[in-house]
A and B are shown apart, each in its own frame.
Chain A
């Protein structure tokens, strides 16, 4: 089984956001960057599927700057066989990202192309699905359960108030949600092995795109609240405030 995983380097989720001097992006000073958490589920799914199949190849792709190499090494340390970095920076327009990835993945002969359902930085929620459309492959997005039998994918995805059971044939594009698996940690042996795995760098040029970021701001601060009281005796006061002041019950 040949599986591609697409990975994005993003700020760690514990990052306190500071707006950069351009007023459109974050100040990256002192920010710790990690693999997008949703992409780690995709990596784990790829590794587990290859192990189950007993043969095949897993390849991690990323579009970004050279700094993404370090993040991709983590994927190699987890067990991915080789890496391809598309050196093209990034774009706020997910379609431009999808075009670059689709052009690269088109001739890869993959049975499965995996993405995280979204990146925790731009919250775009679209590159995997768009890549599938460009490649004219079936796509199931945001899956929290996956089974593959005889070339057929059966996946589950959370919807409002329920769980959809969805099927498609291979080859396919899937995007992973939390809950699908628990990503393994790289072993020391894996970290050593990662240093010797093939790592390809390919310059790409992204189109201008149709989406322009004109500003980035911090959300308005919440008004300072108050401690109503201590212990169960404060409950009556709270309920009265919710009813008469906040008017939410």
Chain B
């Protein structure tokens, strides 16, 4: 077994806002192996992005509060590092690519300057070396004529090119973990295919581990080795990618897969929709958060959150019911 490069234990993140407390992440644990690609999937508000921002300590505190947990990067707990030590890791060893490249890039600085900043801060290179390195990076992410494009501003780049530039910035210091937070959601499918291929190629070349955050089960099938499914701040299922799609073990995963229309199949009937809506996160979780929408729920589900039962190697599901039989364990 490869080494665990990142291990998150019992992470809980809350937000204290005027309306009350938002229970965004409710005690999740997972790990990432060196060179592995995992995907975290879930719908908006399920806590997938907050988890990553918590680990990188990018959340404003307050209103955010991390009430418990550890995030061990190569054995060091990121939550116990000083801000200075954290700065040495963030952007250098763990880098992140965000969903919307237009709001994540500074509109009044050239692309070259923004890539250069990472190199200057973390590697302390001189001007000429930064320039050469930035050209190399843009070239690596497939931007034609990189020497000229360095002088362009973000608005002169197309959506796909901006995301490539963001990836170039993230890769500047050869990170060992790349966190990609819905990097293709704002893009068209043809551009999405380009970006997915690019990240997969770079991952091989640079032997990075990748955490891919998305709501798109299609993209997950394409690039992840292992998948975590999140719902209302909990991990509800974890599996290797083939197992998850062939044999999902949590009613939420099953419902989600059944609700998807398929481009590779002829239509048969209506889509299987999931009734209701995700729970209000302003209410402290009690019982299984999916119970109100679940066909298999029984008394216990409403009162007690099931733990993640180990169902096999790399295989866990948080459900009181054995979905293969429809009966409680």
Task: Tell me, yes or no, whether A binds B.
Answer: no
